[in-house]
Structure 1
Amino acid sequence: MPHFLRPLTRAVTYTRWLHLLIGSAIALMIAFVYPGLSDPSYADWALIVVQPVPLVAAAALLPSMRRAEGLQARLMLFPGQHARVPGDDEDPGVSVAPSASWRDRGRTAAWLVLRLEAGAAGAFCTVQLLGTMLALLGAASEPAEDPGLLLPVPAPNWTNPLLAPLPVLLLLALAVVAGRLMAAAARRLLGPSPVERLAALEVRTEQLLERNRIARELHDSIGHALTIAVVQAGAAKAAADPEFTDRALDAIADTGRAALEDLERVLRVLREDARPASGRPTLGDAERLLDSARASGAKVDIEVTGRLERLPGPVTREAYRMLQEALTNVLRHAGPVPVRIRLTVDEAALVMDVRNALPAGGEATGRGGSGLRGIRERAALLGGRATTGPREGEWQVHVELPLG
């Protein structure tokens, strides 16, 4: 099919034209009252398209009018998913929010006046072109009566009916062009305001932050569980001791159950379940992390200064994940080595310091991994800071989180 004929096969071409004609309804209703449509003059036609302007402009003052116009424009001016046209399901860029400012009301008023005038012009052209078509069909052998058409009708001739499709084709071309112009005007006049764009950007940012947080949760929880399982399985195989193997299997089972609980919490968030994804572990639950590390052969020494109970919820939950990743990093890259943990809580901040011996050869590994980067990101989101790297022959993870 030729490209220029393709718009004629699309339903949106005709819904746009119908949307245009609907805009003239208020002008026609008022015209029936005054000046009447029996035999209007050119001055009457000018009055018909001018006198409804104050009424539609006043209607734009209602905040809900912008929402109604936006919904109607989305449905009739843009294909969308309801039209089932491949590739035409993108956002039309038309807002459906009520007017929130005088600027929104002004743009809505301009849109309503445009609909009024464009609709009146479209209705006039439709009547004229369809009337011309009928006049050509009837002017084959008898002269056509004067029906008030602007386009002249040729003298009676048998070829006149052959010209009847021309006004229809002209009307279809007018429908395509006018529909596209009205769609462009809708995007400009009914599009999101700067405030709405900023709000949408904030929502998008929140969604990205939430996805990033979920990714970190899965990495830390599942990564820790898999690391413990790998270390425990390797140690049990090397020990060839049934009693040690039983302890290793118990540790793997406990760590796996904890990871499944964390996974269920994350999946509830992803499913947008009505139940809140609460119950995330805090530093008060850190003992199970230490038990897992100790069961893997690491000697863990912890010292706590201050009261962990007074830590704010976000701080204690994120600190738990940071400690989990720090221990996972130790087991993954250094093996079952001695680990020293210092937790200090004062009036202003929580300071967490995790140190362990460097792996054989003194080479620090994993310095650019996503786990250590996640620790720094978590600290930055809470207004704190985190440093990781070798220090005085040891690997150190140092975190400072403000409590305010």
Structure 2
Amino acid sequence: MMRGIRPLLRGSTYSGALFAFCGALVSLPLLPVALLPALAWPTAPYGVRIGLVLLSWAALIGVVGLARATRRVLIADARRLLRVPLPDPAGAHRPASSPGTSPGTSTSTEPASPAPTPAARWRTPLWLLLHVALGWIGALASGVLIIAGLTLPGNWLRAEAGLSLFGWSVRVAGGWASWVVALGCLLLAATVCVVVTGALRWAAPKLLGPSSAERLALAAERELRLAERNRLAHELHDSIGHTLTAATIQAAVAGEVLSADPVAARAAMRSIEESTRAALEDLDYVLGALREEKAGTAPTRTLADLPELLDRLRHAGAVVEPELSGELAQVHGTLSRAAYRILQEGLTNALRHGAGGPIEVRVTAASDALEIDVVNRTGVRASTGKSAGPGAFPTSGHGLPGLAERVRLLHGEVEAGPDGPRHWRLAVRLPVRLSA
């Protein structure tokens, strides 16, 4: 028995009924327009004119349901008042810009909104018609029952109490019988709310929920958002990790030569300032993207910024031996940005774990591939005598796996590991198409 009464005591039951009644109320402005066909045919029988009004009213409600904005509003209201877990329509959370481009620039990786099938296109009008119909039925039935429940006990001391409405008369024997009938009317009104709310909750996932094509589009959007967050995590790791490593070494160098060579110490501090400023730009962009704000143009680093990267390493005390060949300036777009980040990660690892010897950097742009090699000496750091192995600096362990994932997405090849007894080598080969 308690299980049957429990829906009558839930607030969600009456919020759902309110949702249904609002549907009936919102349809009222369409009624004057629906009256026009009946007014244009005054000689038609009364029943025909009523039918014309109802058909015109239903057609207008269906037309309103075809608008995409109507579907979004209905889904939001159904979630809030019916407590039905409905996802947003496909395309509601689409990123404003593609990775590495300024906002407003389209990208071919974004999933296109699926063209709705005829059956899917008519689901929202059907829902709206059901919503309005149940709203009117529930509002009229519960209104009559509530009026009866409030009116009948008013005359409970008389010999007979009664109620007349729309030509119907109900007579109840006096005394406590009128109270029993009144309570029954109120319970029936609450039951109407339960039935209307239950019917809408049952129909909402079927008519407002995503279709098969929309489910595929939603899954593609989730995958795109996850890929974008992973890309941002890689960018943040590469940029901040390199900056902190270089700044730590530069600060140590500045401290050691502060008294003996103030000029070198000032140069190291300037390098720290420049590298941290660039890292802050990257951090601001990433945090803005994660907060889904309208961030500015993404701070892209490409192979054109490679000299600046090498200079920062030299300011940190590293000996860099670059060997650049081929038309690097003709490598553009995603490939150039990825190559810069790969070199940044490789040089950061060489700076973090190297033994203080020269870091050999070879970048070759051929007609079919871009080849990157970073070779450094491993073992004991010459300047401090401390170990320069993997434990010399704390690491997150995401550097090489993230680098390998970046290479894999570009259909490239990567090798990382010992190169002889005293060297470590990172070798990357990326397919490339040089622009004319």
TM-score range, shorter chain: 0.7 to 0.9
Cα distance, 1:337 vs structure 2: 1.6
Name which of 207, 217, 223 aligns with 1:189. 207
- TM (norm. structure 2) is 0.72
Q: Which residue of 2 aligns with 1:402?
A: 431
Q: Which residue of 1 aligns with 2:118?
A: 102
Q: Which residue of 2 aligns with 1:253?
A: 270
Name which of 60, 63, 66 aligns with 2:62. 60
Asked if residue 12 in structure 1 is aligned to residue 26 in structure 2, the reply is no
Cα distance, 1:126 vs structure 2: 2.3
Cα distance, 1:189 vs structure 2: 0.2
Q: 1:57-99: CA deviations, max 9, x gaps?
A: 6753667445325414533x4437xx9xxxx7x9643649899
Write the distance in 1 (CA, Å) between the matches of 2:71 and 2:317.
Answer: 68
Write the distance in 2 (CA, Å) between the matches of 1:50 and 1:8.
Answer: 38
Per the alignment, do residues 232 and 135 of structure 1 end up closer, same or farther by CA in structure 2, a change over 3 Å counting?
closer
Name which of 247, 263, 268 aligns with 2:285. 268
1:124-203 to structure 2, matched below 5 A, reads: 124-133=140-149, 136-137=152-153, 140=156, 141=158, 142=160, 144=162, 147=165, 153-157=171-175, 159-161=177-179, 163-203=181-221
Q: Which residue of 2 aligns with 1:292?
A: 312
1:360-399 to structure 2, matched below 5 A, reads: 360=380, 365=390, 369-393=397-421, 394-399=423-428
Name which of 302, 316, 324 aligns with 2:344. 324
Q: Which amino acid aligns with 1:401?
A: L
Per the alignment, do residues 33 and 155 of structure 1 end up closer, same or farther by CA in structure 2, a change over 3 Å counting?
farther
Q: Which residue of 2 aligns with 1:93?
A: 87
- Equivalent residues of 2:320, 2:361 under 8 A apart: yes
Q: Secondary structure at the match of 1:276?
A: coil
Q: 1:333-383: CA deviations, max 9, x gaps?
A: 123122211111011221001111222499963798211122112212223
Name which of 352, 366, 377 aligns with 1:346. 366
Write the distance in 2 (CA, Å) between the matches of 1:359 and 1:378.
Answer: 28
Cα distance, 1:143 vs structure 2: 5.3
Asked if residue 115 in structure 1 is aligned to residue 131 in structure 2, the reply is yes
How many pairs were matched up?
384
Q: Which amino acid aligns with 1:277?
A: A
Cα distance, 1:145 vs structure 2: 5.8
Per the alignment, do residues 108 and 53 of structure 1 end up closer, same or farther by CA in structure 2, a change over 3 Å counting?
farther
Per the alignment, do residues 162 and 402 of structure 1 end up closer, same or farther by CA in structure 2, a change over 3 Å counting?
same
Q: Which residue of 2 aligns with 1:306?
A: 326
Q: Which amino acid aligns with 2:297?
A: P
- The farther-off stretch of 205-214 and 126-135 is 126-135
- Equivalent residues of 2:318, 2:359 under 8 A apart: yes
Per the alignment, do residues 48 and 392 of structure 1 end up closer, same or farther by CA in structure 2, a change over 3 Å counting?
farther
- Equivalent residues of 2:65, 2:128 under 8 A apart: no
Q: Could you tell me the percent identity over the aligned residues?
A: 31
- Equivalent residues of 2:323, 2:361 under 8 A apart: yes
Q: Which amino acid aligns with 1:121?
A: I
After superposition, the CA RMSD in angstroms is 4.2
Q: Which amino acid aligns with 1:374?
A: G
- The farther-off stretch of 92-101 and 219-228 is 92-101
Write the distance in 1 (CA, Å) between the matches of 2:169 and 2:284.
Answer: 68
Q: Which residue of 2 aligns with 1:277?
A: 298
Write the distance in 2 (CA, Å) between the matches of 1:103 and 1:268.
Answer: 43
